[in-house]
Structures are given as structure tokens and as C-alpha cells.
Chains A and B, each alone.
Chain A
């Protein structure tokens, strides 16, 4: 009986931990190889808060704290400890550091913290660890038989695990959760759409840390001992195996994984050991680790989505607003024909548009002496130009002319070595990409950059600014709080999808679309961000000429409505037809600027473009 109770408690604790890890790794794409140290911190703090001071406790173990606090305090402390421990690591998961390097940093931290706590006895009794941690409420209010008490404990922990599941589901299924998944699929693009990666990842680390800490607190309350052996870095790998096998990104998968891997393995090992006492003592634990390694590798190869894959979030596309359904789709060329603009502004954009018109005058975007060198190679050197409001400005030049680099500098994806960028007359050179996006300066990318595991509809929705549910607090507040904003965003996205003729694909995964369709998704998504200036990097590359023309017509229509576009393009025919003025770059420098007709007159331009 006691055995079953222990099993249930371990299972529930593993479920809680795996849920926290699933939120970090599966939903937000933050690979925390140090996950176990957050559980350990929770366990130690809970122990330290629950135990009486070490001198009053027989003196055979030493530890800091020993506050002897009553029931809920140790667990609250455990969750807080996990959350606070996450803060120093936020620098690792910031914008600059590759995800795998950050993961290595966390792994190293986990190994060395374990070593330190093992060797430094005054903190938590070193290698031996703390023991005799009082169970919550065992003496005092409830006078129950020990078996009844344990069953109540089991029930409480299962309820707690269910609560964690409900809470995480609430967060994951909100606009905030969608933003986390977008960041997981492509963080650079999320940044360019106005998502603050540092704050998002900090939130993810803190929440996951709190959940891990809580799981540690619960565990130590039951088993009453905690030592470094319980939280070697390898335990993190077991949890990762559980989440990968169960299905990263699906919280039910995390629960399944927790039951299959950590619990299942312990049990199988115990059964075999009990039935064959003659086996060498090290053999089974070794084979257990080999099996976990095999499971990880084989699952990542044969079923990377896990047993229970992340499920698709279907969003019903509202029926066409008014108008007879028989009317044929207008097609993008007729943008704005039914009196509704693609640029219909949300409140955010309107607030944003309040002043700036006057501030920058007609020159909405200016580059002054802009340079960028990569270790001696001048990709962009001393470029000065102006983009006028409501124009469709083209940017051409031979391969390697620095067009994409220039676009990256303007959007904030990359930082200039020298020079200034003015937007509406304001110096934005030092602002990160997500701030520029929030000010209405939005870019697209040359390479495919859709959020692969989001549907087309979700791709568009992820870019909608000002959704009340697109923050941790908004997500916690629940669906009722953000339903209105979400419905408005869905309506706007539907409108854009119809105009580009992609509404039939709204609930397809963006990663499953054709190359041309993905380009469309990207343009539509950028429009969802309610830009004032749109920076497009070869939007028509790889797109059928017919479709390219329709895109061009749409863009021209948008410019008439007041949008400003700067577009990199190779196809001179497109430049001829849609762009005015056109800027020519070669070898990092600005060569000429004017209408295509003017440019054709100038031999150096023709030479640079043909010979370059």
C-alpha cells in the first residue's frame, strides 16, 4: 500500500515537473538543460522553511534557514525560489545567444551547482543532504492515521498537478501562448513582428522555474530527505526524454511522458531487480540509462512529434461579412473596393499615428551615412537616402550589393557600424527590432520565415498588435478578458486572407504550403502588424508571375491608401511596373536614385547591374 502511495506521489510530482518543462521546451522553444536545479532549489527552500533551526534539530545536520514555518509557507517558498533562481539566467536566453549555446550554459550550471552544493556543507548539509523534513500539517490540525494522511496527501498532489495543467493550458491557448509558439518556430521573425524576446523568455524561465520549484517542494514534503544525488544533471535528461516521448508542445503528452518514462522506468527496474537478485549491481541502472538514451534518439528520428503530437488549433473563419455570397472573390487587385481597407487600423495603430505625420514631414524613413562591416568587408558603406511617405520605393542591385543587409539595418535585425536611421524624424538607430516593429516599421525576410507549426490563420494573428491576451497577465485573466480583441483580429485576418485568396488554407499549417503561398503568408502577416512602413525582401522571388503581378497591384493599392513600402527586388520588369522611385546599390554603396526611366539613361547603373 505504501508502495502504491509512493508511486502515485512520484508520478504526480513528475507530471508537474514535465508540464513545466513542456511549457519551456515544447511551447516556447527554450531548451533548459538545467531544469533540475530549479526543482532542487524548490526542494531545498521548502526543507529549509519547514525544518526547525539546525541547532535545535539534534545538530547532526547543518543547513541555513530552519524557520519551522507552517504548511503553505514551505511550498510557496519553493515556487518562489524556483522563480527567483530563473532571473540570473535570463541573460543566457536573451536575443543574442544561440539557443544551443544557452542550453550548454544551463547544463554546465546544473553540473557545477550540484558539485558546489555537494562540497559546501554549511548550505544544505553537503553530500549527505537534509533529512527529516516535516510533512505538512501532519502534526497539529489533522490528527489522522498515517495511512489516511498519506492518501489525503496523494489526493492533494494530484489535484495540484491537475491545477498546474489547467493553468498552463489557459496560458498556452491564449494569444500569449501563440506568441510563445511563434517565438519557438522562428525567434528572429517574432522579434521583427514586435515581440520582446527577452521578456518573453524571462517569463517562460520564471514560470517554468516556479513550477519546477513547486514540484521539488512537494516531493521533499513527502520523502522528507533531499540530497545532491537526487538532482544530478542526468535527471533533467530523464524529464526531457519524458517530454519528447509524450509529445513536446502538448501538455497531455507531457503527462503521458511523465507516467511512461520516469515512473515506468523505476518500476520496471525494481521488478527486474527483485526477481533476479543475482544480477551485477550496476548492470540494470546502466542499461536503464542506455534505454533512455535510445528512446530519445529513436523518438527524435521516428516520431519527433511524440506519442501525442501538438494538436492543431483550428479557428473558424467567419462567413463573408455582408454582400451576396455569390459575388466572385474580388482578388487582391481590387483592394479597398468594398470600402474596407486592408490597413484598417486597430486602436494601437491609431494611437501611434496620432502625431508623427508632422514630425517627419514627407520623409518617413531616412538613412544617414549608414555603414555595416563584417570583419573588414564593407557590406554597406556610407549609404544616405530618404524614403518618402506613401511611395513604393524599389531597391535593386547585383547579388552582394548589400540590399538585404541594408534592410536588416533599417528594421533593427542588425546594428550599423556607423550612421543614423531616422523614422518620422526620430532617431531609432539604437532601438531593437521589436520596438521598431511596434512603431510601425515592419520587415519581411528573403528566406522562408513562416511560423511552420502555426496555421496560416495563427501566423496572421500572431502579428496583430495590441491584443489584450498577448501578455502573461492577459493570458492568466482568461478567455473572457481577451475574446473581443481576438475576434477583431480574426475578422481582420480573414479579410486579408480573402483578398489574397488564401482563406481556404486558413487552417493549414504554414509549413505545409508551397513556396509561393508561404511568401504570401509572410506579406499578409506583415500587414497584420499594421505597419506604416513595410520593408519587403524579395517578396516575389519564387512566386508565379501571375501571382507576382497581383501582389504588385495590391502593394500599389496599399501605397495609395498611405502605406510606405521599401522593396528589394531583382526583377526589373516588376520595378518598371510598380516602383517609383528606385534606388540602385552596388558593392555596398548607393549608386543612383530615380524613376526606372531615368535610371536606364545612366550607363553606370546599367553596367553595375549587368556586369556587377
Chain B
């Protein structure tokens, strides 16, 4: 029982990190139409920005904010310099995926060329340890979960109650129509890159905190989990991505407690392929994106 609870603890933290990244990824795809495989590479950039800030003697929590800003800027630039020009030219979605894969290589290994192949970690305390039954969480882990819940709530408010959120949903549903209705689609898209880029940077830094020691290629496998969560929830569906993150996060960690930890990703893999085969529109079905 305590094994189960302990694994649920791990699962909650993984879900929390995964949810931030997946919601960012899925919103990015919904509004901008780019299936951005460079997402994990940008996360890595965020993790290292936070590291450099942290190295300068500043708290890693300030580093989080720096990572968000840096990745926000990087994502906007990535769109303006690369994706948007390709899209204006009418490039097919699959070619754009290949372009994003190319950008992933450039960013990820560009970082590696700068920092070398050695893993680093933030200098920070883990805080007190809390126990409830078998559930063991440190202060830092609780803060991560709290951040994630706050982000989910903020995304919900943004999408449901703000003008910007409505414009984003409209652009996601039909860009041309949104433009004809007086929505400045290209501005909405740029803002979306800024917001989702911020989520991406946050996720990168929080993921680095969570795994403790990280390097330029640490996020490769995490991208697979993001994709699994996003496809489980239905690509472009923010609420689906939240549920997907919870399922994948808990599924991988709880299963790791009972089968060999090496195979924990099998759950994510099976979930993703099953969804692609049976319900390409996601768990919640083909409802309006948003």
C-alpha cells in the first residue's frame, strides 16, 4: 500500500510537470497549426537559462521567471523567423513537422555545443519532507504541484473568460473566418507563441528541478510523454491535455512501482498508439477545441 502511495506521489509530480508542458504544446498546435517538435528543445533552453541565473547566485525560483521570459521570446522568434514564413508559403503540415524537427536539432545540440555534455543541477534546498501514509513529498515538490494547478486555473480563466482566450479559440477553429470577423489573427498567433513559450520555459525549469540533474538531451524522452498526453487528450484540446497529463503521469509512475521501472514508458507508448488507432480526436472526442 505504501509502495502504491509513494508511486502516486511520484505520479502527481510527473503529472504536474507534464500538464504544464502538454497544455503549452497543445495550445500552440491548436492556435498556430504548428506541431512543434522543437518544444522539448526550447524547454531545455529554459532549464539552462534558469541554471545560469541560479549560478549567478539568485534563487532558482527567480530563475523560473527568467526561463519563462527567455522561452517566450525564443518561441516568438522561432515563429517569426521560421514557422510563419513557411506557413505563408503554404508549406504542408508534414513539411512543417520536419522543419520543427530540424529546429529541435539546431536548438538542442546548439545548447550542447555551448555547455558540453555534462549534466548539471540547480543549487537549492528541497525543504521539509511531508508524509501522509505512504505519500512522501518535499516542500519543493508541493510547490511544483501548486504551480501546475495555478497554471491550469489560469489557462482555464484565459480560455473561458478573457477576450484574448475567445480570440485564440476562434483562431484555432478557423483562422480565415476569425480574420474576417475582425480578429487580428496574426497578433493572436504571436501572443499565443509568447504564452505557450512561457509555459514551455516554466515546464523546462520545473522538469529540471524535478529530475535533479539534467543535460542538453534530458528532455528528449519527455517530449514523447508530452506527445502521449496531448494525443490522449486530443490534439489541440487544452482540457484533454490536462487529463492526458494526469493519466500518463500517474500511469507511468504507478506502473513503474509494479513492473520494472525501465518499462514504465510502455504505458505512454501503448496509450498513444491506441489513441491514434481508435480515437485520433482524443478521449473527449471531436468537440470544439479550446
Encoded as 1 (CB less than 8 Å from any A CB) or 0, chain B from 197 to 220 comes to 000000000000000000010001
* Chain A, residue nearest B111 (CB): A286
Within residues 28 to 46 of chain A, which ones have a CB less than 8 A from any CB in chain B? 31, 33
| B113–A286 touching, CB < 8 Å | yes
A268–B237 Cα distance when bound, in Å, is: 45
Given contacts A286-B109, A289-B105, contact A112 B98 (CB under 8 A): no
Besides the contacts A31-B98, A282-B117, what 11 more A-B pairs have beta carbons closer than 8 Å? A97-B280, A98-B93, A100-B94, A101-B280, A234-B105, A280-B116, A286-B110, A286-B117, A289-B105, A296-B101, A301-B85
Instruction: Flag whether A166 is at the interface (Cβ < 8 A).
Output: no
Given contacts A280-B116, A282-B116, contact A296 B98 (CB under 8 A): yes
A-B contact pairs, 24 of them (CB 8 A): A33-B101, A100-B96, A101-B231, A101-B276, A104-B231, A105-B276, A112-B224, A112-B265, A120-B262, A120-B263, A283-B116, A286-B112, A286-B113, A287-B113, A289-B105, A290-B105, A292-B102, A292-B105, A293-B103, A294-B106, A297-B102, A297-B103, A300-B98, A375-B287
Within residues 89 to 105 of chain A, which ones have a CB less than 8 A from any CB in chain B? 91-92, 96-105
A319–B269 Cα distance when bound, in Å, is: 59
| B265–A297 touching, CB < 8 Å | no
Encoded as 1 (CB less than 8 Å from any B CB) or 0, chain A from 210 to 230 comes to 000000000000000000000
Encoded as 1 (CB less than 8 Å from any B CB) or 0, chain A from 253 to 290 comes to 00000000000000000000000000011110011111
Instruction: Flag whether A116 is at the interface (Cβ < 8 A).
Output: yes
Shortest Cβ gap from B230 to chain A (Å):
9
Given contacts A101-B280, A296-B98, contact A108 B106 (CB under 8 A): no
Select which of B93, B106, B266 is within 8 A of A99 by beta carbon. Answer: B93
| A103–B265 touching, CB < 8 Å | no
A304–B113 Cα distance when bound, in Å, is: 28
| B117–A112 touching, CB < 8 Å | no
Chain B residues, Cβ within 8 Å of A104: 35, 97, 227, 231
A234–B280 Cα distance when bound, in Å, is: 26
A529–B1 Cα distance when bound, in Å, is: 66
Given contacts A100-B93, A282-B116, contact A109 B273 (CB under 8 A): yes
Instruction: Flag whether A604 is at the interface (Cβ < 8 A).
Output: no
Q: Which residues of A contact B (CB under 8 A)?
A: 31, 33, 91-92, 96-105, 107-109, 111-112, 115-116, 119-120, 234, 237, 240-241, 244, 280-283, 286-290, 292-297, 300-301, 304, 375
Chain A residues, Cβ within 8 Å of B98: 31, 240, 244, 296, 300
Most chain-B CB neighbours within 10 Å: which of A237, A287, A297? Answer: A297
Select which of A98, A240, A300 is within 8 A of B280 by beta carbon. Answer: A98
Shortest Cβ gap from A488 to chain B (Å):
34
| A290–B262 touching, CB < 8 Å | no
| A301–B86 touching, CB < 8 Å | yes
Instruction: Flag whether B150 is at the interface (Cβ < 8 A).
Output: no
Chain B residues, Cβ within 8 Å of A120: 262-263
Instruction: Flag whether B82 is at the interface (Cβ < 8 A).
Output: yes
Instruction: Flag whether B260 is at the interface (Cβ < 8 A).
Output: yes
Within residues 14 to 47 of chain B, which ones have a CB less than 8 A from any CB in chain A? 35, 37
Chain A residues, Cβ within 8 Å of B103: 293, 297
Within residues 72 to 95 of chain B, which ones have a CB less than 8 A from any CB in chain A? 82, 85-86, 91, 93-95
Instruction: Flag whether B240 is at the interface (Cβ < 8 A).
Output: no
A91–B274 Cα distance when bound, in Å, is: 10
Chain A residues, Cβ within 8 Å of B224: 108, 111-112
Chain A residues, Cβ within 8 Å of B265: 112, 115
A204–B112 Cα distance when bound, in Å, is: 37
Chain B residues, Cβ within 8 Å of A105: 272-273, 276
| A290–B113 touching, CB < 8 Å | yes
Chain A residues, Cβ within 8 Å of B117: 281-282, 286
Shortest Cβ gap from B156 to chain A (Å):
21
Shortest Cβ gap from B42 to chain A (Å):
14
Instruction: Flag whether B62 is at the interface (Cβ < 8 A).
Output: no
A301–B287 Cα distance when bound, in Å, is: 35
Within residues 92 to 135 of chain B, which ones have a CB less than 8 A from any CB in chain A? 93-99, 101-106, 108-110, 112-113, 116-117
Q: How many residues of B contact A (CB 8 A)?
A: 49
A105–B276 Cα distance when bound, in Å, is: 7
Chain B residues, Cβ within 8 Å of A301: 85-86
Chain B residues, Cβ within 8 Å of A281: 117
Given contacts A105-B273, A108-B272, A290-B106, contact A237 B101 (CB under 8 A): yes
Select which of A107, A241, A375 is within 8 A of B286 by beta carbon. Answer: A375
| B266–A92 touching, CB < 8 Å | no
A304–B102 Cα distance when bound, in Å, is: 14
| A99–B94 touching, CB < 8 Å | yes
* Chain B, residue nearest A92 (CB): B276
Within residues 232 to 274 of chain B, which ones have a CB less than 8 A from any CB in chain A? 235, 260, 262-263, 265-266, 268-269, 272-273
* Chain A, residue nearest B235 (CB): A101
Chain B residues, Cβ within 8 Å of A283: 113, 116
Select which of A103, A282, A288 is within 8 A of B97 by beta carbon. Answer: A103
Shortest Cβ gap from A201 to chain B (Å):
14
- 9 tightest A-B CB contacts, nearest first: A293-B105, A296-B102, A119-B262, A289-B109, A293-B106, A282-B117, A286-B113, A286-B112, A297-B102
Instruction: Flag whether B56 is at the interface (Cβ < 8 A).
Output: no
Instruction: Flag whether B70 is at the interface (Cβ < 8 A).
Output: no
A295–B101 Cα distance when bound, in Å, is: 12
A98–B92 Cα distance when bound, in Å, is: 12
* Chain B, residue nearest A287 (CB): B113
A241–B86 Cα distance when bound, in Å, is: 18
* Chain B, residue nearest A88 (CB): B273
Select which of B35, B106, B216, B227 is within 8 A of A297 by beta carbon. Answer: B106
Shortest Cβ gap from B252 to chain A (Å):
12
Shortest Cβ gap from A284 to chain B (Å):
9
Chain A residues, Cβ within 8 Å of B82: 297
| B102–A294 touching, CB < 8 Å | yes
Chain A residues, Cβ within 8 Å of B105: 234, 237, 289-290, 292-293, 296
Instruction: Flag whether B181 is at the interface (Cβ < 8 A).
Output: no
* Chain B, residue nearest A241 (CB): B102
Shortest Cβ gap from B170 to chain A (Å):
16
